[in-house]
């Protein structure tokens, strides 16, 4: 992208941010799902900085051991150390290791960017956890019960220990409380679960705020779906709601645009218009006081169906918005972000839709 690269440099002129690098990523045959997520993560500055710090401390001792963590760190380091400000990098080692680690990503089929992000973050956490207890790798202690999103329950061999909080958790992990009230005895059972991203059901002509409200709204468990109440010792009707107990530093929201349709016996893409604001305030659904966020990346799905199409990403870096499409990087207007909200009509020629949103908490220094 020599020409495109110099175009980008020209467009930014002396506003090109000091020390920043804008590199496209080569596509190895349908690896746009991977490229779009990698760009969003690269421009997640606290994550990038911690990954580079990890890399600088671990560069030498484990040359032989290749995993996604070391490959990602190597790739980010390679980008950040480029002499040129723009260009193209081939994330070859990373993609090869990904294909080795997970057969899902081995073929040349269109893959789901959210599945990839989820797999990657959990894999990074697993590697960091293994590295922090090298001595405890015997079979009895190395397989804690897994909960959602790769968190362990802090219990192995009946000995309670605090779950390890890695820098990946410090960036992305939040806590949900699942509250269930038995309608017979009124007992409220609250269970906390951690998350690294939130998957939201979407509706036509809605917003992230309304999707989040639906996510945490009261739901009645009845008929086939009753709740086992420990106090009543039986299945009972109950009311259930999810609350965000602790918001993460980086809030990743996955819009469930690919829905399984019973009538069609396949997944369908929902092109609904879902407004995602540049600044997001979470009110009424979280227990944390400070919950103002700023959008800094969007992974966009391009195309009308779930099993084909393309992914690109929009990234905010130093107050500029950039459009990353594999090898190509362009500067775009902030106002262009709204063209990725979705379509208000069922059939529309615009098939570029926001799919994964990355928000960073505005109130800094609250890193826990
Ligand atoms: Zn009960």
* pLDDT for res 296: 98
Domain ranges of the chain: 2-133+166-361
- The alpha carbon of 135 and the centre of ligand 1 are apart by a number of angstroms equal to 44
Mean per-residue pLDDT, 218-222? 92
At how many degrees (to 10) do helices 45-58 and 32-42 cross? 90
- The alpha carbon of 225 and the centre of ligand 1 are apart by a number of angstroms equal to 15
Q: Give the rounded percent of residues in the chain with a pLDDT score beyond 90.
A: 67
- The alpha carbon of 189 and the centre of ligand 1 are apart by a number of angstroms equal to 10
Phi, psi (rounded to 5 degrees) for 329: -130, 130
User: Which residues are placed with Cβ below 5 angstroms of ligand 1, an ion?
Assistant: 182, 184-185, 229, 231-232
Phi, psi (rounded to 5 degrees) for 234: -160, 170
- Give the Cβ contact number of residue 340 at 10 Å: 20
Tokens representing 334?
A: 């902030």
- The alpha carbon of 236 and the centre of ligand 1 are apart by a number of angstroms equal to 7
Mean per-residue pLDDT, 350-361? 95
- Give me the CATH topology for the region 2-133+166-361: Cathepsin B; Chain A (3.90.70)
Give kind and range of the element (H or E) at residue 130. helix 113-132
Taking a C-beta distance cutoff of 8 angstroms, is the pair 282, 291 a contact?
A: yes
- The alpha carbon of 194 and the centre of ligand 1 are apart by a number of angstroms equal to 26
Give kind and range of the element (H or E) at residue 345. none
Mean per-residue pLDDT, 181-202? 95
- The alpha carbon of 186 and the centre of ligand 1 are apart by a number of angstroms equal to 6
- The alpha carbon of 233 and the centre of ligand 1 are apart by a number of angstroms equal to 7
At how many degrees (to 10) do helices 68-80 and 92-101 cross? 170
- The alpha carbon of 192 and the centre of ligand 1 are apart by a number of angstroms equal to 19
Choose the weakest-confidence range: 50-54, 131-135, 306-310: 131-135
63-76: per-residue pLDDT in tens? 557 899 999 999 99
pLDDT of 19 > 80? The answer is yes
- The alpha carbon of 285 and the centre of ligand 1 are apart by a number of angstroms equal to 25
- The alpha carbon of 232 and the centre of ligand 1 are apart by a number of angstroms equal to 4
Taking a C-beta distance cutoff of 8 angstroms, is the pair 116, 191 a contact?
A: no
| Per-position b or e across 175-193, b if 16+ CB within 10 A of its CB | bbbebbbbbeeeeebeeee
User: Rounded CA gap, 329 and 85, in Å?
Assistant: 12
Cα dihedral sign for 218, 219, 222, 227?
negative
Long-range contacts of the stretch 161-164 (C-beta < 8 A, 24+)? 164/128, 164/129, 164/132, 164/133
- The alpha carbon of 144 and the centre of ligand 1 are apart by a number of angstroms equal to 30
- The alpha carbon of 180 and the centre of ligand 1 are apart by a number of angstroms equal to 10
Taking a C-beta distance cutoff of 8 angstroms, is the pair 168, 123 a contact?
A: no
* pLDDT for res 125: 95
User: Rounded CA gap, 301 and 268, in Å?
Assistant: 13
Active site residues: 32, 310
222-247: per-residue pLDDT in tens? 989 999 999 999 999 999 999 899 99
| pTM of the complete model | 0.88
Mean per-residue pLDDT, 184-205? 95
* pLDDT for res 347: 76
Bridge partners, residue 181, by sequence:
188, 239
pLDDT of 41 > 80? The answer is yes
């Amino acid at each position: 992208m020599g020409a495109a690269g110099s175009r980008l440099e020209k467009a930014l002129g002396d506003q090109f941010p000091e020390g920043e690098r804008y590199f496209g990523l080569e596509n190895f045959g349908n690896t746009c799902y991977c490229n779009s997520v990698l760009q969003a993560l690269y421009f997640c500055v606290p994550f990038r900085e911690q990954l580079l710090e990890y890399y600088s401390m671990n560069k030498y001792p484990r040359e032989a051991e290749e995993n996604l963590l070391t490959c990602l760190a190597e790739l980010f380091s390679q980008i950040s150390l480029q002499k040129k400000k723009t260009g193209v990098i081939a994330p070859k080692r990373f993609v090869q290791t990904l294909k080795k680690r997970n057969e899902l990503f081995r073929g040349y089929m269109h893959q789901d960017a959210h599945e990839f992000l989820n797999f990657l973050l959990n894999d990074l956490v697993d590697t960091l956890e293994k590295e922090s207890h090298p001595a405890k790798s015997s079979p009895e202690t190395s397989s804690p019960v897994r909960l959602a999103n790769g968190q362990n329950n802090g219990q192995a061999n009946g000995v309670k220990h605090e779950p390890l909080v890695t820098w990946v958790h410090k960036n992305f992990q939040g806590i949900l409380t699942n509250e269930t009230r038995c309608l017979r005895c009124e007992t409220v059972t609250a269970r906390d679960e951690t998350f690294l991203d939130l998957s939201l059901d979407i509706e036509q002509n809605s917003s992230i705020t309304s999707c989040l409200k639906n996510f945490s709204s009261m739901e009645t468990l009845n008929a086939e779906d009753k709740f086992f109440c420990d106090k009543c010792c039986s299945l009972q009707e109950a009311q259930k709601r999810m609350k965000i107990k602790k918001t993460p530093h980086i809030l990743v929201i996955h819009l469930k645009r690919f829905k399984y349709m019973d009538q069609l016996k396949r997944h369908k893409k929902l092109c609904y218009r879902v407004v995602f604001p540049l600044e997001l305030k979470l009110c009424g659904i979280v227990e944390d006081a400070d919950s103002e966020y700023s959008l800094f990346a969007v992974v966009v799905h391009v195309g009308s169906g779930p099993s084909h199409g393309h992914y690109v990403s929009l990234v905010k870096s130093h107050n500029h918005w950039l459009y990353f499409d594999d090898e190509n990087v362009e500067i775009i207007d902030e106002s262009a972000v709204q063209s990725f909200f979705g379509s208000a009509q069922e059939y529309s020629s615009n098939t570029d839709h926001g799919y994964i949103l990355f928000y960073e908490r505005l109130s800094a220094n609250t890193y826990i």
